[in-house]
Amino acid sequence: MTYNPNSPIGPISPLSQVVQVQTNFSTFGTIFNINHTALNNPDQGKHEGVQFTLQTVDPGVTDDLAVIYNKNATSNIDTEPQLWLQILKFLPTKLDPSTPGNPAMQLTYNKVNTVGPVFQSFLIGGYLLFFGKVTDITVPVTLSPIPSSILTAIAIPNTMTTAGNPIPYRVSTQILSKSQFMIYSADASIANPYSFTWIAIGKA
């Protein structure tokens, strides 16, 4: 039997509706078990997962509420469903009605590097944070995954000059493309071994 929303029927004796009532209760339990800890379990009723229906547009908020939803995000890697957030008081049009912008903040990304030498994480709003260390500044630093663009790149020397009073090497960076930047030193000679810690921020 299948679920019947019209059972039990008041005028009819419960005795003749037992099978349908049992079917209805069994269906309730089956549906409840989706994304929840099953009944008759010490943690019964607790949420185990949440399913988001893919949205094609930002749903919008009209009150002092927040909405989390699933919508495709296009990056330099792919177009995939990601989580987004809308909070009314943080919308660009709320902060400055003359400022256009995406009225939502991207919360997730499809790739995170946990193995170097190039490490990468995701910043809310669609930004990628890259960082690492290099010992050869004659070759460019290559970012992976490739961002849509590099917004900034900063390098810090880990070693000091050795002549006279040791001071940190003077360094600068130059963005070459959406995936590479160079580290330069203003010092004529650099004693080996040396290394530079760097950080870069790009758009997903």
Sketch the domain layout of the chain as residue ranges.
1-48, 54-106, 118-203
| Architecture of the 118-203 domain | Sandwich (2.60)
What integer pLDDT is reported at residue 5 of this predicted model? Answer: 85
What integer pLDDT is reported at residue 133 of this predicted model? Answer: 92
How confident is the model over 121-155, as pLDDT tens digits? 999 888 999 999 998 888 999 998 899 999 999 99
DSSP state of 138: T
Distances from the Cα of 147 to the Cα of 111, 127, 144, angstroms: 11, 9, 8
The string of DSSP codes covering 80-101 is EEEEEEEEGGGSHHHH-TT---
Q: What is the mean pLDDT of the chain?
A: 84
Query: How confident is residue 94, by pLDDT bands cut at 50, 70 and 90?
Result: low
Is residue 101 scored above 60 in pLDDT?
no
pTM confidence score: 0.70
Contact 203, 174 (CB under 8 A): no
Distance separating alpha carbons of residues 183 and 137, to the nearest angstrom: 6
The identity of residue 74, as a single letter, is: T
What integer pLDDT is reported at residue 91 of this predicted model? Answer: 65
Distance separating alpha carbons of residues 137 and 140, to the nearest angstrom: 7
How confident is the model over 37-56, as pLDDT tens digits? 988 888 888 988 888 999 99
